[in-house]
Amino acid sequence: MGILEKISEIEKEISRTQKNKATEYHLGLLKAKLAKYRSQLLEPSKKAGEKGEGFDVLKSGDARVALIGFPSVGKSTLLSTLTKTESEAASYEFTTLTCIPGVIDYNGANIQLLDLPGIIEGAAQGKGRGRQVIAVARTADLILMMLDATKKDVHRHLLERELESVGIRLNKKKPNIYFKVKKGGGISFNSTVPLTKIDEKLVQMILHEYKLFNAEVLFREDCTADELIDVICANRVYLPCLYVYNKIDQISIEEVDRIARTPNSVVVSCNMKLNLDYLLETLWEYLSLIRVYTKKPGQPPDFSDGLILRKGVTVEHVCHAIHRSCWTRYHKKWAFFLKDSKLPIY
Ligand SMILES: Nc1nc2c(ncn2[C@@H]2O[C@H](COP(=O)(O)OP(=O)(O)OP(=O)(O)O)[C@@H](O)[C@H]2O)c(=O)[nH]1
Ligand SMILES: [K+]
Ligand SMILES: [Mg+2]
């Protein structure tokens, strides 16, 4: 039996199995098996042509944003609107076939925006250029999931499932589980909080499924079996995702209002250039970028130039950024502060 068949067998069994206390272990085990086969399926194949030309775009600028969406939702139109790069837009599907980078210049930051081919159901299994697109998505700091506001939300759910199935977790934080494989000593299992969704026996079963017999596991929050599997698999990425509903020029005001109120969503019209300023503002916020200004002792801060950094930066990050970009332009004795908070970072 091929891996795809095995996966579909397990999926069928999971959907057949009623979810209750008695089936908890059985389901946990099935999920672990499923995750294992899925990662086997996605292991880079050695076959030529799999990598795909036109996708090896170098990371540049302060952050990378990937445009993910079904064909013809307006991804290329957005790239051509927000950046100086032109990406062909047309009414037929799969107009874009490669990764096309553009640069958004915002708040003094250079944000790399990547236009990508449309993806459809089955992308993770390699339909269209799905695999290459997903590989690029994994390298992004933010996913812009573009959706056609005139269509129902099925597209959104399909894409979420595609990304989920390849280990991309959207708008979720990494489960707080300490996990370490050991050479011996069996499995040591502990938790700092009461666990309501998993117990020691299920943890053991899942670890055994991965042929792990010596490991240290410490739950620091009330996680599920799926979250434990994510931690074991280690290849998961946790990315912020902003849902961009395009073509609002085609729907009623009431509908625009309803969509705009859903979490993590921005409504726009690329063709009519509606709400694009707000999109940029939100994008900046989701990337957690801040501008840090430099200041010499006894002198006012220099607002003409700044460093672009992530929120939560430490002095080390700042030194690193300076070192990379403009060490020589600064004195060794400098002071930093954030314009917004007026707080010194050190
Ligand atoms: N009504 C309307 N049409 C739009 C808007 N933005 C883009 N379009 C149209 O949607 C069609 C598809 O646009 P593209 O930018 O090629 O879409 P894409 O997502 O890049 O498509 P693929 O590269 O094929 O995946 C074009 O005919 C655009 O003119 C919009 O805001 N409103
Ligand atoms: K198109
Ligand atoms: Mg396109």
| Residue 338 or 164, more confident | 164
Place of tokens 């961009």: 244
Check residue 134 and give its pLDDT: 92
- pTM of the predicted protein model: 0.80
Place of tokens 């074991």: 232
Name all residues whose Cβ lies below 6 A of ligand 1: 69, 71-77, 89-91, 93-96, 117-118, 246-247, 249-250, 269-271
Q: What residue ranges define each of the domains in the chain, with the CATH number in brackets?
A: 3-43+175-233 (no CATH), 63-172+237-286 (3.40.50.300), 290-338 (no CATH)
Distance, CA of 124 to CA of 164 (rounded, Å): 10
DSSP string, 193-244: S--SS--HHHHHHHHHHTT--SEEEEESS---HHHHHHHHH---EEE-EEEE
Residue 99 and residue 114 in contact, taking contact as beta carbons nearer than 8 Å: yes
What ipTM, to 2 d.p.? 0.99
Check residue 42 and give its pLDDT: 55
User: What pLDDT digit, counting tens, does each position of 35-58 carry?
Assistant: 888 777 655 454 534 455 688 899
User: What pLDDT digit, counting tens, does each position of 136-189 carry?
Assistant: 999 999 999 999 999 988 999 999 999 998 899 999 999 999 999 999 999 999
Check residue 322 and give its pLDDT: 64
| b (16+ CB within 10 A) / e for 260-285 | beeeebbbbbbeeebbbeebbebbbe
Identify which of 67, 68, 70, 72 to mutate to test ligand 1's pocket (most ligand atoms within 8 A of the CB): 72
Distance, CA of 16 to CA of 19 (rounded, Å): 9
Distance, CA of 273 to CA of 30 (rounded, Å): 48
| Residue 295 or 69, more confident | 69
Place of tokens 């625009």: 256
Task: State in Å: Cα 112 to ligand 1 middle.
Answer: 20
Looking at 112-126, 231-245, 281-295, 301-315, which range is the least confident one?
Answer: 301-315
| Residue 59 or 304, more confident | 59
Averaged pLDDT score across all residues of the chain: 86
Task: State in Å: Cα 111 to ligand 3 middle.
Answer: 19
pLDDT band, very low/low/confident/very high, at 99 (cuts 50, 70, 90) = very high
Distance, CA of 69 to CA of 58 (rounded, Å): 21
User: What pLDDT digit, counting tens, does each position of 190-222 carry?
Assistant: 999 999 999 999 999 999 999 999 999 999 999
Q: Which residues contact 339 (CB under 8 A, 6 or more apart)?
A: 291, 293, 301, 303, 306
Q: Is the dihedral of CA 118, 122, 126, 127 positive or negative?
A: negative
Check residue 313 and give its pLDDT: 65
Predicted confidence (pLDDT) at residue 130 exceeds the cutoff of 90: no
Mapped onto helix, strand or coil, the DSSP state of residue 59 is coil
Looking at 105-114, 196-205, 211-220, 330-339, which range is the least confident one?
Answer: 330-339
For residues 264-278, average pLDDT: 97
Place of tokens 């958004």: 104
Residue with the smallest CA separation from ligand 1 atom 16 is 89
Residue 45 and residue 52 in contact, taking contact as beta carbons nearer than 8 Å: no
Q: Which atom of ligand 1 is least distant from the CA of 91?
A: 27
Of all residues in the chain, what percent carry a pLDDT higher than 70?
A: 86
pLDDT band, very low/low/confident/very high, at 312 (cuts 50, 70, 90) = low
User: What pLDDT digit, counting tens, does each position of 3-42 carry?
Assistant: 778 888 999 999 999 999 999 999 999 999 998 887 776 5
Residue 89 and residue 77 in contact, taking contact as beta carbons nearer than 8 Å: yes
Q: Which residues contact 299 (CB under 8 A, 6 or more apart)?
A: none
Place of tokens 């969406």: 69
pLDDT band, very low/low/confident/very high, at 335 (cuts 50, 70, 90) = very low
The two tokens of residue 66 are 């990937």
